[in-house]
Every structure is written in structure tokens, then in C-alpha cells.
Chain A
Amino acid sequence: MTDSGTEPQKVMVEKQAKDLLSNHGISVPRSVLSKDLPASIRLKFPVVLKVSDERILHKTDVGGVILNIGTQEALEREFISMKSRFPDSEYLIEEMLPSGIEYIIGVTRDRDFGQVIMLGSGGIFTELYGDVTFRKIPIFKEDAEEMITGIASGRFCQGFRGKKVDCNALADLLIKISALLESGSYPIESMDLNPVIALEKGVVVADAKIILRGKS
């Protein structure tokens, strides 16, 4: 049993969550948060446009995420359309990540063992096959490595069907998340980094949801 529901909780907006991760040496896409469309953005196209609003938890479900926008003109069009659908929100423009292998990394609270960290194969396979593994925080290098070899997508470390990922970086990310929780500098109750995109070199957190303890 997880996610103790008794304490009041506060959801960090995505930009805030990613800035927090970035400040702890974790790669996130370059981004701009804005209420209005800037005349020019210093990001590389293609970009992603997302609604940024703490009241909206599942952005994709409500049409709050537009992927693969190739030009400034297209961005302007999508921005106006998004603003008409979510008039009182802010908007996050992010560089679109190259494709890689998707993982999910999360933190939750277990009734018996306290905060635990999870690694899973990304996308629908997390749920379909239950291909996930948990450890109690804090974890060490050996634990992180065993988490990766403990899930099916861990095989991409040695290369599989022409795809290979940077598992040192993935292990490093797990350890950094564990250390961030262990430090207690932020009252983080739970998090979903989903997806984490693993490339041949490096891993990047494409989407982050962090829930803090405390009043909303």
C-alpha cells in the first residue's frame, strides 16, 4: 500500500519540477515557460507545447500536449489554439527529444518500508507486463545496476536489435534521485519521471510529476 493519503499534498508544475531536477544535475529538455508567445524563442525546433497548470494532472488526456512542432509559424498557430482551450494557464515550450528507449522512474511511499524508488520499462509495457522493480531509498551503485538488469528493458544496455542505451547514465540518474530524496532538502512525497528517454549517450527526463508534502 502506497501514497499515504492522509497528509495534504501539493503538485509541482512541470517546469518547477524539471528545474528542481536540473539543479541536481539531471538532464531535462531545454524549455521556456510563458503566458504569451515570445516573439522568438531560443530553442531548437522541433519543439513540444504543453499546458502548464497545477490543476491539470493528466495533460495528454485533455489535449494539453502538442508534439513535434517544426517551425515558428506552426508554433504560433498551436499556441493560439491551446490558449483558447486553456485561457487561464501558462504554457511550456520544450525542445523535442530524439527517440530512444523509454523508461519510467518513480518514487512512492510504502506502508511498511517507507519511501521506495521504482524503475520500469516505459510506455504501456510497465502496466502490461508489470515489468518494474523497487528498492528502498537510499540505493547504492550495485543496487541501481541490479535494478536495471532486473527489468526486461535492461537488455538494451548490451544492445538489442540494433538499439543500445547508456546504462551508466541510467544508473547514475537512479542514484541521483535516491540522493535527492535522502537529502530531505525538499519534502518530496512521490514522483513520476515518465518517460525517461535513454539514448546511446545520456538519459533525459522528458516528463516529470513531483508531489510535495504540505498544503496545496
Chain B
Amino acid sequence: MLEHLFNPESISVVGASSDPRKIGHAVLENLVLQGYGGRIYPVNPASSEIMGLKCYPSLEAIPSRVDLAVITLPAKQSVDLLEQCVKKKIPYAVIVAGGFSEAGEEGRVLETRLREIIKGTGTRVIGPNTVGVLFPYTGVNTALTPHDRLFFPEKGEVGFISQSGALGLLVMDSITEYRMGISGFINIGNRADIAETDSLRLFEADPNTKSIVMYLESVSDGEQFFKTVKEVNRKKPVIILKTGRSLESTRAAASHTGAMASNDRVFSGIMRQAGITRAYDETELLDFGKALAYQRPPPGKRVAVITTAGGVGVLTTDLLTSPDNHGRLEMASFNDEETREMRKFVLPFASVANPIDLTADGSTEAYGKILDVLVRSDSVDAIIAYALPQTPKINMDIVGTLKLAASSKPVVAGAIGNRLSKVMLGELEAARIPAFPSVSRTVGAMKVLCEYGEYLRRHRND
């Protein structure tokens, strides 16, 4: 089932066009340029060949099996075409067009018809009103934006489910800046068939996915969603950005409790109950997805901080120990033996109390020796490490050093700056060490990592 969507043998683009202004052109081009390796069947009765591919007059005319149909026609025609998908036993259809339930009564009727057509059949629909799916591992890319307008992420471990297509595409374009990848993207759109719960199950089953991030504006079936997300979150951490937080309970409630039950209060409590990590903006969403995909949750909340810039360490301490949306953590303290050993590798005026500041004199080698002490320490559950290449003794070898430490203890890294820091962040990304270009983002990622660990420990038995 998963296979036909994530790794289809063949894809048909219905409404494919050689006119660059048409959506059917962008979708076909994205498939070709993303390097999709399966067979592509453009369908358009008015053409015989598009982008060097043989074009078919209809789905029926395609001589072999189709795993995924991308329908780029207007709403009404898309629904008519869905009947042919069912007849040809196509497992998945992406319906791009808007003009369904989001657009009034006529659209609602059309969406109901769409559901009736596929009811009890082997065809599942993504959308309508969707930019579709992106699976970098197989080159499946049904996005409707022209390929020269944005970047698409490379192969990664974060599965991305979004109710909004545009926000999804923009966020994916953003994360390419530091070479972050994804395992897949599903824009559920109007979710006439495949909704957030099904999408969670798909990524749960996908072996490349290690964490799942979701952008939601509402939930379609709360009871089912709670059950599913709680279950999936135990195997693969789920992070949710949910909008509509300012909506208050709109009806006069009969009880005091009812009056207090705003949508966001109830949603927050229930997500806490399911152990879900909440993100409060699109940056946090992908930051937390990355942290939880690349590192295992620490066994406790005692964090060691290592830096070559004093102010960065002090600010980290402040943010780490003050409560916010993502809780608060503790600064680890070191015993005399650990302190003595770390002293050997730093200048006399450097600090080896937490936060450890090697100062501008700190070298990659000294950094490695101190990390080694932290990795062996019984009083350290996790490490925040700043890889700051602006001083001469810190070089790119620090990535290997951090990778070694991360094989024993969870590490979250920060690299602040532009020129060399961007290179550093790219290298850390390639090494799958979650790394961020600011102190607050670094600390935020560590907080959710620890919170997730604590949830798993506390709720072992329910």
C-alpha cells in the first residue's frame, strides 16, 4: 500500500502540458527534474509528445499499470477522471484542483461525489486542493510550482505532513539553506480521503522516516487522531504546529468548565497527554523534527554546555534554565576529578564549570578531550556544543569530534554567524548532528529532546 505512493513504478500526469504557464507542465517537469526513475505517462488528448515523453489521449489508453495518477485538471473534470482511475485500479490519485469544500456549496457537493466514487474501491485520493507529494528517495515530486522558483529538500529522515500546501513548499525551500532533507512530504489539502491519521500511518511504516512533523489547522476525527498520534509518537516522535490558537470557545457554555474550554487549551492538554512535541512556528517545527530524528532522547535533564565564546555560554544557561513553552532543564555539575581533568586542556582563566568556556584560545583537539570527559561523566545526560569556526584554532574537524561524542550521548550543536558558520552547519547536517544558527534555537531543540525522553520514561506503562 505504502509502496505505490512512496515508490510508484509508474506515474501518470493527467492534463500534462507543454505550455509552461500550465500546472500540468510544472508537475511533469518537477517529476522529470527530480530524477524520478519510474515510467512517466503524460495524458493529454491534444498532444502526442511532451518533454520527449509519449503522450496518451486517456488513462485507459496507457498500455500498462499506473501506480499514481496526478490530476491537474479543473475540479469538475478531476472528479470525472477519478472514475477512470477506479476503473484502471490505480492505487493513488493526487487531485490538485481547488474549488471543492473550501469554496462553498457547489464544491461541497463535488467533494461528496468524489468520496462516493472511491468508496469501497482500491483507489485512495490525496487532496483535493493540494500541491501533492514529494518523496526525495524515489524522485516523486508532484509540486505545482516551477522548478526554477524554489529548491526541494534532499533525502532525509523527517516526514512532513501539511494541511497547507503553500506553507509546506515555503518551509521546504527554507530548510535547503542548510542542506536539511526530508523523507517525504504529503500535503493533505482538503483531506477528502487521506487525512492526517492515514498520513501518520504511512510515515510510521516508512523505513526512512525517523520523526514526523505536522502542520495542522484543524483535526478531522479527534478521537481517532488522539489514539493514532499517541501510538505513533512512541515509535517515531511526532511534532505538531497547530494554528487557530486564538479561537475561543464561541458558544455560551452551560458550565464553568465549558467556558474555560477554549480550543487551544483542550488541544494543548490532549497533546501533552499523548506526549506530542508542540511547535509554535514553522521554524520550530522543522528544528524539532530534525533534533528528534537525529538524536535519541537523553535519559535525564542535566545538560553540559561547551563553547569557545563566553557570552554564548551565559545566554545558553539563561534560556536553558528558564521556563517557557518547552519547559526548563538543569545545568549539569561536574565532580572534582572531572574538573581537574578538564583543567589540563584549557588556559588558566578559562572556565571548566558549566558552561565550559574554552575561550578564543580553544582548539579542536582540546574541545575533543573535554567532550570525552563529558561523555564519560555520570552527571551529564546531554551536551550542547557550540561549533564556532570564527577563531583560528577551531576547524572543520570538530564535526568528526562531535559525531564521535554523539555516538555515546545526545548532542545538539549551535553555529552562529555567516561565512564559515554556514559551511559548518552544512557539515553538521551531513553528519546528522542537529545544529542551529542561533542560541535560542539550539536550546529549544535540546529542551524538546529532553521533554520527549521524560514523557517516554513517565508513561512507560500506559
- A interface, CB within 8 angstroms of B: 1-3, 5, 9, 104, 106-108, 110-114, 116, 118, 120, 126-127, 130, 132-136, 139-140, 142-143, 146-147, 150, 190-192, 194, 209, 211
Q: How far is the CA of A191 from the CA of B426 in the complex (A)?
A: 55
Query: Which of A104, A114, A118, A147 interacts with B222 by CB under 8 Å?
Result: A114
Question: Which chain A positions have C-beta within 8 A of B459?
Answer: 140, 142
Q: Is the CB of A3 within 8 A of B273?
A: no
Q: Is the CB of B255 within 8 A of A1?
A: no
Q: Is the CB of A108 within 8 A of B255?
A: yes
Q: Is the CB of A118 within 8 A of B260?
A: yes
Output the least CB separation between A108 and chain B (Å). Answer: 4
Chief secondary structure at chain A's binding surface: strand
Q: Can you list 8 contacts pairing A with B, beta carbon distance less than 8 Å?
A: A1-B251, A104-B257, A106-B256, A108-B261, A112-B263, A120-B260, A133-B265, A136-B226
The 3 A-B residue pairs with the shortest CB-CB distance in the complex, in nearest-first order: A106-B257, A112-B222, A134-B269
Cβ proximity bits B216-258 to A, threshold 8 Å, 1 near / 0 not: 0011001101100000000000000000000001110111111
Query: Which of B222, B251, B256, B267 interacts with A192 by CB under 8 Å?
Result: B256
Query: Which of A104, A113, A130, A132 interacts with B270 by CB under 8 Å?
Result: A113
Q: Is the CB of B462 within 8 A of A132?
A: no
Q: Is the CB of B265 within 8 A of A130?
A: yes
Restricting to B269-296, which residues have a CB under 8 Å from any CB of A? 269-270, 272-273
Cβ proximity bits B448-462 to A, threshold 8 Å, 1 near / 0 not: 000000000011001
Known contacts A108-B261, A114-B222, A192-B257; is A2 also within 8 Å of B270 by CB? no
Question: Which chain B positions have C-beta within 8 A of A126?
Answer: 256, 260
Cβ proximity bits B41-58 to A, threshold 8 Å, 1 near / 0 not: 000000000000000000
Q: Is the CB of B253 within 8 A of A3?
A: yes
Q: Is the CB of B258 within 8 A of A3?
A: yes
Q: Is the CB of B254 within 8 A of A211?
A: yes
Question: Which chain B positions have C-beta within 8 A of A140?
Answer: 459, 462
Question: Which chain B positions have C-beta within 8 A of A1?
Answer: 249-251, 263
- B interface, CB within 8 angstroms of A: 218-219, 222-223, 225-226, 249-251, 253-258, 260-261, 263, 265-270, 272-273, 458-459, 462
Question: Which chain A positions have C-beta within 8 A of B269?
Answer: 116, 133-136, 147, 150
Q: Is the CB of B223 within 8 A of A114?
A: yes
Q: Is the CB of B270 within 8 A of A211?
A: no
Q: Is the CB of A110 within 8 A of B222?
A: yes
Output the least CB separation between A114 and chain B (Å). Answer: 6
Q: Is the CB of A136 within 8 A of B270?
A: yes
Q: How far is the CA of A89 from the CA of B18 in the complex (A)?
A: 82
Query: Which of A127, A132, A147, A194 interacts with B265 by CB under 8 Å?
Result: A132
Question: Which chain A positions have C-beta within 8 A of B258?
Answer: 2-3, 106, 108, 190
Residue of A nearest to B269 (CB): A134
Output the least CB separation between B248 and chain A (Å). Answer: 10
Extra pairs beyond A113-B223, A126-B256, A133-B268 (17, CB < 8 Å): A2-B253, A5-B251, A9-B254, A106-B255, A108-B253, A108-B255, A108-B257, A108-B261, A112-B218, A112-B222, A112-B225, A113-B226, A116-B269, A143-B462, A190-B255, A192-B255, A194-B256
Question: Which chain A positions have C-beta within 8 A of B255?
Answer: 3, 106, 108, 190-192, 209, 211
Question: Which chain A positions have C-beta within 8 A of B261?
Answer: 2, 108, 110, 116, 118, 134
Question: Which chain B positions have C-beta within 8 A of A108?
Answer: 253, 255, 257-258, 261
